[in-house]
Amino acid sequence: MLTYSAVLAEGSNAALVTFTIYTLAVFGLAALSNQLLKSKSFLSEYFLGSRSLGVWAFALTFAATSSSGGSFTGFPSKIYTHGWILALWIGSYMVVPICTMGMLGKRLNQVARLSGSITVPDVLRDRFNSQRFGLMAVVLIVFFMSFNLVAQFKAGALILKVLLKDVDLFHSVSASAGQWTAGIDFLGNDPGYLVCLLFFGVAVIVYTTYGGFHAVVWTDVMQGIVMVIGVLILLPLALNAAGGLENATKELAKMTPPRRGLATVHIDEPMSQPLQVTRETWLRMQRDEAGSERVFRVAQPFSIDADVRDVHAVELLEITTPAEVSRIIAGDVPAEFDARLAVSEFQGSDENFGVVTVDTTAGSIPAVFHRGDVVVVDTKDGKRSFVVAVDTPVEAGGKIALTVTEPTTVPAAGTTIEATATKLSIKSVSYKYGADKPGVYVTGPGPSPNNDVGFLAFSIAVSFFFMWAISGAGQPSNMVRLMAFKDSKTLKRSIFTVAVYYTAIYLPLVFIFVCARVIMPGMEAEPDRIMPEIAVYLTNNVGAAWLGGLLIAAPFAAVMSTVDSFLLMISSAMVRDIYQRNMNPEAEEKTMKYLSYLCTMLVGSIAMVVAINPPDFLQDIIVYVGSGLAACFLAPVVFMLYWPRATETGCIAGMMSGFGAHFGMYLTGMFVNGSFFRPFQLFNFNPIIVGLFVSFLVTYLATRASAPPPEELVRKYFYRKTDKTNS
Amino acid sequence: MSSQPAPDREGYELDPVFVNSRREALAILLVWFVCMLWAVPVSYMLGYGRDVTPENVSTVMGIPTWTFWGILIPWLAADVATTWLCFVFIKDDDLGQAEDELPANEAVADGGNA
């Protein structure tokens, strides 16, 4: 019988084969798409697919672009971590297709045809005959999308790295890359990430540059089909493995969240060689006096030197539900214990832990920080007391990183040392909401490791109903697709198709990953891997490793389809909106063609290079960009489409105020919550609600206060000659 | 605020695509609002702040009761509403043709609408 690690390795090799086939198919589609470019108006075809998308192409490109890699990594990981409450979190997807496609689709498509626009800034510019409005839209799109592009490149590379981590070929290529890049600081110190970024980046840049919009759309269609087939196959396998949904829900009702902490791991027989302990490893603690058994999963990989008997400050995750512990020990779930190792001590009951970096040049610092010493440090929140977890000698220099625990009560024992903190990275041991509370995974607001009101408070649930359905309509990447469908019939059938598609994807995903909690405990150590691990595990159970590979390819394909659309949006903004509309309106088609290729390739390459050393907070940037774009674009676009009285002044004011209000919430968060990416939540609502409210209000008021728009524009976009006049 | 005489639009009528699209957008907004009023409060009332144990967990077809009545049923209702909007309510309007869709000699200056 295969061990669990061997099963994963086999599944990952299947994934590699699937990736190869998938990538070849993508290049094939790009080549076909390039043929279309030769027979049609280049710019319209390259950036908008000649407004000819049929039902399947339009529906699936819309669905795939909207559901980025998050749908297949972040969402499953959230269901796993917080339980059934994710059904409410994703609930507004019941109306996302009709809202995001139906509210603006038909009218936006018509106005784009009337004006001959092929980009979103194009429409804004032509609708008001305003060069400055068009340029402002370009600046905002390039600003937001560039950050997002870098973030998505990083996300793509990370997903690929996670998925290939058990593939031998990947390790040997990474090792070679590590040798070649040794000593080049710019290329970072993670050759595996570099290899994945290069593979992912080059693939996306080449097929997007060569094939343009149609290549992107056809890739989306292929990916959309992979996603839905994957989910529909996984559903019965997961239900079967969990003993049915009823059983899974009852098991979840027993569960209490796991506990993180620092442990000392004891080795009975010291190793002759150093040993690497991975996250897949499970450990036991000897039975306590009450006779109860405790099991742990490694939360951070660690190494054990030769001839060592005890390793301190090892980060572990303790399973706290007795029924789960029994199933793990009985071998009913995939868990591999390392019998050579045992947990001898675990500090995880009422303490936080982590790393505190102290300044050794200030105050009276000892030569060695001993385990058990109490360090009182000055932080911006005041003085905090920590207990040193590992003996740490002080070397000459300015700073030293100490592994510490932070007890809830001030410790009395040990030497007390006053110090100044330069950096704190302290993690919560217990969940702030839901610890030791059975039933928390089947009720609201759901368990949360870092929020004491739970995962989804009522006001946040309302915010999400706005966020997905309403702000989704305000995304320029969605708007450009609404300009590309063929006719009204196509739009109507596509909305219906996407509605069925989302119903078939999102609710089953909740069922599958609720079951995954029961099938595969302890994944909180690495929740983003739950999708590939459960896919491989379940498909191997039925002897279909190739299917696991196909399912593993889904998140990779999903992030690819998001990146390629962003890439084209930035490139179109530069080529069409800046060069052709403002610098050289008479540019020949041949010039535009080569410029489009060059620009797409350059933008992609620059984003890839920046992603080698991306800034921190990338996931937060993705959230900021998504909501920021909606706050800027939704109100002006709604007013320009549906209100003949709308003016350039009103819409520009609405766009800027939406940007300002949304940005203001983030800026206030920097002062109130200590970080730009922990935005201030006015009345507990997400900044997107504030941004949209201000933007709509200001657009209306500023329009009312400004002179009416030119009559010829109103006639062109809102009126038509009567039949009597025509005759 | 400026008050100007109403412009003379004799010989023109409101574009039916605009009129229909606006009516459809308002109907869609109403559907969104009804779904929110259904899903969030029902989920909150049936699913929040409850002490649940394996013995008293309430389910319908294996799904927690709050998820069934607060998410699954409105989701299916939203699908029915979407289907009705798509195939009954939303009109098949002619969206016109852009210049880039026409052969060069047929392209018209006003986009072919008026």
Predicted confidence at residue A410, as pLDDT, reads 66
Pairing of the two strands A281-285 and A294-298? antiparallel
* Residue A562 near residue A153, CB atoms below 8 Å: no
Task: Write out chain A residues lying below 8 Å of B40, CB-based.
Answer: 88, 91, 458, 461-462, 465
Which candidate, A240, A160, A194, A11, places its Cα nearest to that of A554? A160
Closest of A548, A80, A525 to residue A281, by C-alpha: A525
The confidence score (pLDDT) of residue A616 equals: 60
Mean pLDDT of B80-89: 96
Residue A125 CB coordination number (10 Å): 25
User: Which residues of chain A have a CB within 8 Å of the CB of B7?
Assistant: 711, 714
Out of B78, B92, B100, the one facing A488 most closely (by C-beta) is B92
What pLDDT shows up at residue A703? 96
Q: Which of A56-65, A243-252, A569-578 has the highest mean pLDDT?
A: A243-252
Closest-CA residue to A508 (of A196, A65, A48, A90): A90
pLDDT over 90 (residue A654)? yes
pLDDT band at A635 (very low <50, low <70, confident <90, very high): very high
In Å, how far from its chain's centre is CA B95?
A: 19
CA-CA distance, A483 to A47, in Å (whole number)? 11
Q: Classify residue A625 as exposed, middle or buried by CB count within 10 Å of its CB (0-12, 13-18, 19+).
A: buried
Q: Which residues are paired to A522 by β-bridges?
A: none
pLDDT at res. B104: 47
Q: For residue range A277-311, what is the model confidence (pLDDT) as tens digits?
A: 888 889 988 766 666 788 999 988 888 888 888 88
pLDDT of residue B107: 40
Contacts of B13 in chain A (CB under 8 A): 719-720, 722
Inter-chain CB proximity B75 and A716 less than 8 Å: no
Position A179 scores a pLDDT of: 84
- Give the residue on B whose Cα is nearest the Cα of A702: B1
A439 interface with B at CB cutoff 8 Å: yes
Q: What is the DSSP string of A681-723?
A: -GGG--HHHHHHHHHHHHHHHHHHHSPPPPHHHHHHHHEEE-H
pLDDT at A345: 75
Task: Output the CA–CA distances (angstroms, integers) from residue A174 to A168, A177, A179, A181, in the order listed.
Answer: 10, 5, 9, 10
When pLDDT is cut at 50, 70 and 90, the band that residue A724 belongs to is low
Lowest mean pLDDT among A162-166, A399-403, A630-634, A661-665: A162-166
Q: Do the chains contact at A106 and B93, CB–CB below 8 Å? A: yes
- Report pLDDT for B1: 45
pTM to 2 decimal places: 0.85
What band does B38 get if pLDDT is binned at 50, 70 and 90? very high
pLDDT at A12: 60
For A145-178, write each residue's pLDDT tens digit. 888 888 788 878 877 776 777 777 888 888 888 8
> Average pLDDT in the A232-255 region?
94
What mean pLDDT do residues A129-138 have? 91
Q: Helices B73-84 and A488-519, interaxial angle, to 10°? A: 170
Minimum distance, in Å, between the CA of residue A249 and any CA atom of chain B:
7
What pLDDT sits at residue A1? 41
ipTM of the complex as predicted: 0.88
Per-residue pLDDT averaged across A210-228, rounded? 81
Closest-CA residue of chain B to A711: B7
For residues A119 and A552, give the distance between their C-alpha atoms in angstroms, rounded to a whole number. 34
Span A692-705, pLDDT tens digits:
999 999 999 999 99
**Spatial CA neighbour of B57 closest among A361, A39, A255:** A255
* Secondary structure (3-state) at A520: coil
Q: How far apart are CA A527 and CA A541, in angstroms?
A: 21
Q: Say if residues A162 and A623 touch (Cβ distance below 8 Å).
A: no
Per the model's pLDDT, the better-predicted residue between A168 and A443 turns out to be A443
Q: What is the mean pLDDT of residues A586-605?
A: 86
How sure is the predictor about A4, in pLDDT bands with cuts at 50, 70 and 90?
A: low
At A291, list the tokens: 């006779």
Measure CA of the first residue to CA of the last residue in chain B; give whole Å.
31
More confident residue, A223 or A338: A338
Min Cα–Cα distance to chain A from B7, Å? 7
Cα A49 to chain center, whole Å?
A: 28
φ, ψ for residue B95, nearest 5 deg: -90, 5
Helices (H), ranges, A643-686: 648-672
Q: In a 10 Å sphere around its CB, with 0-12 CB exposed, 13-18 middle and 19+ buried, how is residue A510 labelled?
A: buried
In a 3-state reduction of DSSP, which class is residue A393? strand
pLDDT band at A414 (very low <50, low <70, confident <90, very high): low
Which band of pLDDT confidence, cut at 50, 70 and 90, is reported for residue A727?
Answer: very low
Pick A407 or B29 by higher pLDDT.
B29
Most confident of A246-255, A456-465, A591-600, A716-725: A246-255
Instruction: Give the per-residue pLDDT at B110.
Output: 36
CA-based nearest distance A321→chain B, Å: 13
Name beta bridge partners: B64.
B59
Q: What is the pLDDT of residue B105?
A: 44
Question: B95–A487: do the CB atoms touch at under 8 Å?
Answer: yes
Rank A386-400, A409-423, A500-514 by mean pLDDT and report only the highest: A500-514
State the DSSP string of A228-280. Answer: HHHHHHHHHHHHHHTT-HHHHHHHHHH----EEEEEEEEESS--SS-EEE-TT
Shortest distance, CA B9 to any CA of chain A (angstroms) = 8
pLDDT for A419 equals: 80
Nearest-CA distance B43 → chain A (Å): 7
Question: What integer pLDDT is reported at residue A582 of this predicted model?
Answer: 80
**How much is the average pLDDT of A553-581?**
80
Terminal-residue alpha carbon distance, chain A:
83
The length of chain A, given as a count of residues: 727
Q: Residue A94's closest chain B neighbor by CA? A: B75
Within 85-144 of A, beta carbons closer than 8 Å to B belong to 85, 87-88, 91-92, 94-95, 97-99, 102-104, 106-107, 109-110, 112-116, 118
Measured between alpha carbons, how far is residue A620 from residues A81, A457, A584, A626, A693 in Å?
19, 20, 38, 10, 22
CB B93 to CB A493 under 8 A?
A: no
Using a CB–CB cutoff of 8 Å, tell me whether A443 touches chain B.
yes
Which pLDDT score, from 0 to 100, does residue A392 have? Answer: 85
Handedness of CA A301, A307, A313, A319 (dihedral sign): positive
Compute the 3-state secondary structure of chain A and give helix, strand, coil in percent, each to the nearest 5. 60, 15, 25
- Is pLDDT at A706 greater than 90 in this prediction? yes
Identify which of A318-322, A396-400, A555-559, A615-619 has the greatest average pLDDT: A318-322
CA distances from A709 to A83, A307, A622, A650, A712 (A): 52, 82, 36, 10, 9
User: Residue B50: which of A85, A443, A458 has the nearest Cβ?
Assistant: A443
- pLDDT band of residue A18 (cuts 50, 70, 90) is confident
Query: What's B55's DSSP letter?
Result: T
Q: How far apart are CA A87 and CA A83, in angstroms?
A: 9
Is residue A722 within 8 angstroms of chain B, CB to CB?
Answer: yes
Confidence at residue A637, expressed as pLDDT on a 0 to 100 scale = 97
Q: Give the angle subtended at the CA of B73 by the CAs of B70 and B78, to the nearest 5°.
A: 105
Interface size A-B, in CB pairs within 8 Å, comes to 249
Q: pLDDT class for A344, splitting at 50, 70, 90?
A: confident
Are B111 and A492 inside 8 Å of each other by CB? no
Contact at CB, B87 and A496, closer than 8 angstroms: yes
- Residue A222, φ and ψ in degrees, nearest 5: -60, -45
Chain A residues lying within 8 Å of B102, measured CB to CB = none
- Beta strand extents in B16-91 (DSSP E only): 59-60, 63-64
Whole-angstrom Cα distance, residue A82 to residue A258?
Answer: 12
How far is residue A129's CA from residue A218's CA, in Å, rounded to a whole number?
Answer: 34
What's residue A20's pLDDT?
Answer: 78
Contacts of A722 in chain B (CB under 8 A): 11-13
pLDDT the model gives residue B112: 34
Residues of B in contact with A442 (CB under 8 A): 52, 57, 64
Strand-strand pairing, A399-407 and A351-359:
antiparallel
| DSSP per position, A149-218 | HHHHHHHHHHHHHHHTTT-HHHHHHHHHHHHHHTT-GGG-S-HHHHHHHHHHHHHHHHHHHHHHHHHHHH
Residue B82: enclosing H or E segment and its boundaries?
helix B73-84
What average pLDDT does chain B have?
Answer: 85
Q: Which of A206, A205, A212 is nearest to A35 (CA)?
A: A212
> Rounded mean pLDDT of A193-210?
87
Q: What is the pLDDT of residue A578?
A: 83
Chain A partners within 8 Å of B52 (Cβ): 253, 438-439, 442-443
Torsion angle (degrees, nearest 10) of CA A459, A462, A467, A468 = 140
